[in-house]
Amino acid sequence: MSATPASAEDLIVLGKITSVHGVRGEVKIYSFTDPIDNLLNYRHWTLRRGGEVRQVELVQGRLQGRLLVAKLKGLDDREKARAFADFEICVPRSLLPQLADGEYYWHQLEGLKVANQDGHLLGQVDHLLETGANDVMVVKPCAGSLDDRERLLPYTEQCVLSVDLDAGEMRVDWDADF
């Protein structure tokens, strides 16, 4: 396991190590991928926690309930594995699969300015939440926005009318008073 950092701008967070599993150095992982076990398709991970960065190699992994259990190369002891808790699991953006037209990764939506059909700037997508029924965009006020309100907008076909990544904006069917 090396400590060579990768380019921070090029990394996408795909999961997080939550704790240890068993006595042989395996770790439990909360995956942000869909399906959950897609994270196991990437063999080389960059781990980040605060300013600490580590490069690791996945030896094997498996789905266990709603979490993953993974074995990392050179990690054979429960106490050493415990030190990996709370590390984010990152991979280079270039390794992500291409999406079909009209599909977006969350990181592509974050930072987009959000305007409604009337042209009112509601704010900027800060982050997204997975709620079960549909994803929700957290839209926070930004320079030039209509007001100082944070809004939670559903990421659905009914709400999101268009996304223009090049222009950095999104059009939504959302009343400014909501």
Where a domain ends, among 44, 69, 95? 95
Any domain includes 130: yes
What is the per-residue pLDDT across 6-47, written as a single tens digit (0 to 9) for each?
Answer: 466 689 999 999 999 999 999 999 999 989 999 999 999 999
Which amino acid makes up residue 135?
A: D
Supply the Cα-derived Rg of the chain in whole angstroms: 19
Any domain includes 90: yes
Same domain, residue pair 116 and 84: no
CB 111 within 8 A of CB 168: yes
Tell me the backbone φ, ψ of residue 108, rounded to 5 degrees: -75, -30
Total domains in the fold of the chain? 2
d(CA 121, CA 140) in angstroms, rounded, equals 11
- Provide the 8-state DSSP code for 2: B
- Provide the 8-state DSSP code for 134: S
What is the per-residue pLDDT across 92-149, written as a single tens digit (0 to 9) for each?
Answer: 999 999 999 989 999 999 999 999 999 999 999 999 998 888 999 999 999 999 999 9
Same domain, residue pair 87 and 33: yes
What is the per-residue pLDDT across 59-71, written as a single tens digit (0 to 9) for each?
Answer: 999 999 989 999 9
Range of the domain at 158: 106-172
Same domain, residue pair 82 and 111: no
The CATH number of residue 145's host domain is 2.30.30.240
Same domain, residue pair 83 and 14: yes
